[in-house]
Structure 1
Amino acid sequence: MEIAENAALIVVDVQKGFEEEGFWGPRNNPGADENIASLIDAWQSTGRPVVFVRHDSPKPQSPLRPGYAGNGFKEYVEERRGKGDGAELLVTKSVNSAFYGAPDLDAWLRAAGIEQFVVAGIQTNMCAETTARMGGNLGYEVLFALDATHTFDLEGPFGWRRTAEELAQASAVSLHGGGFARVVTTAEVVAAAEAGALRG
């Protein structure tokens, strides 16, 4: 795996509101936050660009609604903002895709000549997956750091219910098998980013 010198890290919706288990239900991958932090650290230490995405939910009961404490980034993310040597962008959105937010993510990436990015964040099968899918459709090389994401159990049609882990695996299979993104681990990405920085 090669990580471009200007590859972006897109950190999707790592917000305090997702800690409210009573609202979301059971989650998977308790190590996600540690992995997200290590990716941010690797990107900042190698001077690569980081995009922080925040979901401003229009739903009045959502823990992610503006003006509510849950809308803010988790502490470990907030304390890392502004710390890197590379470019940094804050994108706010009210839908699943970071490409439908403000400012325009696609325009920012293209203006910087960025062709590759890594996706991490919450939720695996919602905003992280949608951002990865759209990135693939727009022609970017997308790496999806699966173990730096997590999601929650969910009920769908016909009484079907899937656990968070089942949903995460389905996302990984769809993204990777469908050619939208390459699904990878945090350790692989960090090692490749640091190796690339040494070569550079």
Structure 2
Amino acid sequence: MRSASEDLTTRARIRDAAVLRFARSGFGASLRAVAADAGVSPALVVHHFGSKERLHAACDEHVLAWIREAKRENLAAATSGRLVEVLASAEAQFAPMVGYVLRSLQDGGAVGRAFVEQMIADAEQYTAEAVEQGLARPSRDEKARVRYLVLSALGALLLSLTLDPPSDPQDVGAAVRRYLDQMALASIELYTEGFLTTHRMLDDYLAYAPDPPG
């Protein structure tokens, strides 16, 4: 008979194998594939989790807890708009979880949604502080601007990783850092110096929008 501690260890091993398999192959991966990765039988996966949906939920819970812990340990960087960089810079053992987050973003899953909303909430806080300190211009609609910036940044990252995916989730941190290095100058320049030289487009929008903000 297996002891309670052995069951917990087996359950964690299956969960960790599932995080890596889902990060590598997507959420369509089978319980059989997860079982093979974990070195157990499919029946034992079912014994511990009941179904693939419940295994997926357990992985979601585990990865969300890791995100919260990574943010708490790196609070200054995470709340200054660099949460993706913080996660990508995590030790290699956490790379599958970064890959899992990216898969969930692509899939629209619970982890992806929670991750985006957390980034938006953080961005609202540090953007408000930047405006108060005179480091950023105020917006006619602060919440909409923050949401646009976060979704744009994550969308560009996901598109880059979709077109040029890492060969393995273990390499996802390097892929994210490479993307950030490539985009750093362009993004800082755009945010600092702007893009358009006139207000004509904005004036036209405000003049003809049915209910402009502000």
Q: Tell me the TM-score normalized by structure 1.
A: 0.29
Higher relative contact order (CA 8 A, sep 6+): 1
More strand by share: 1
Q: What's the TM-score once normalised by structure 2's chain length?
A: 0.28
